[in-house]
Amino acid sequence: MLAVGTRAPEFTLHSTPDQKVSLSELKGKKVILAFYPADWSPVCGDQMALYNETLKLFHKHNAEVVGISVDGKWCHAAFRENRKLHFSLLADFEPKGAVSRMYEAYDETKGSSLRALYVLDEDGVIRWNYLSPTGVNPGADGILDALEELDNAKIKQ
């Protein structure tokens, strides 16, 4: 994974079949990048549902969550609608896994994203990262702790 203190690489990916999101559009907010293997898998579905339920807590820290996998934009649209998700799922589809590779969050043997988390500060610098085993939902506690630490560091300045 990319090291804490590294500037997060810029990317632009489809968030819907006709819209794209660039990381730079989120500047000024903390960003949670949640790389995950696949829509519709039980662990991924639970993980994204948890982040959906935790959105209000993320927003209290001025943070936005973005899910990223190698699934296509149409697959993401159906998954997002089915799960009633209120955050973007980005399609790292073509070239397959290009963004996941940039973030060292790609499994070459399986051809999918790893279950990797990054928390970026408002300037786009990685401040926390975590790589979870593929079959384990990493939860939200680590993310919330990282966001709280960032807020506390800002208060002390």
- Indicate which residues carry an active-site annotation: 44
Query: How many CA atoms are closer than 13 Å to the CA of 119, on its beta-carbon side?
Result: 20
Cα first-last separation, the chain: 28
Distance CA 86, CA 107 (A): 27
**Which tokens sit at 147?**
């966001």
Cβ atoms of 67 and 141 closer than 8 Å: no
Q: Where are the beta strands (DSSP E) in 1-105?
A: 12-16, 19-22, 30-35, 63-69, 88-91
